[in-house]
Amino acid sequence: MPKRHRLTTNGTFCNMVINNSFSERVTSFPYLFSLITDNTECTDDIRGRLVKGLGIGAKLKKIWQNHGIHISTKIRLIKALIWPVVVYGCERWTLKKDEERRIDAFEMKCFRQILRVS
């Protein structure tokens, strides 16, 4: 039988027994494509989202480099394909200044890439 995972956010320890086996205690786990951690910080989740957004942007490199596609179309592609992946689950984020700067830098990187600005 697979082990069940449990996470407590208030620091208390509890034993859960399911079918005569103890559940494993974890510090983080993915849930609905978001990363839930025991310290309730969102830094790892935000970084993971930005990496996923960069991956999608890398797959669209030929579109970004195509001179026949208008810049406004490329911006619409960023808003439709990349940005939803990056901000998925952002309703539960508690942003710090560092994360805000990281998200702003990601956005600027996307725009610099389609405008071909180094």
Q: Please report the pLDDT score of residue 51 as a whole number.
A: 94
Higher pLDDT, 63 or 7: 63
Q: Of 41-45, 68-72, 74-78, 98-102, which gets the smallest average pLDDT?
A: 41-45
Same domain, 35 and 81: no
Query: Residue 1 — very low, low, confident or very high, per pLDDT cuts 50/70/90?
Result: very low
Domain count, the chain: 2
Same domain, 110 and 74: yes
List, in sequence order, every residue forming a beta bridge with 30; answer none if it has no partner: 35
Q: Please report the pLDDT score of residue 20 as a whole number.
A: 75
pLDDT digits (tens, 9 = 90+) for 13-47: 666 667 777 767 666 666 666 666 666 677 888 88
Q: Are 93 and 118 in contact (CB under 8 A)?
A: no
Domain containing residue 28: 1-40
Question: Reduced to 3 states, what is the DSSP secondary structure of residue 21?
Answer: strand
Question: What gap in Å lies between CA 15 and CA 100, rounded to an integer?
Answer: 38
Same domain, 71 and 14: no
Backbone angles phi, psi at 26, to 5 degrees: -125, 160
Same domain, 111 and 78: yes
Same domain, 62 and 95: yes
Same domain, 98 and 67: yes
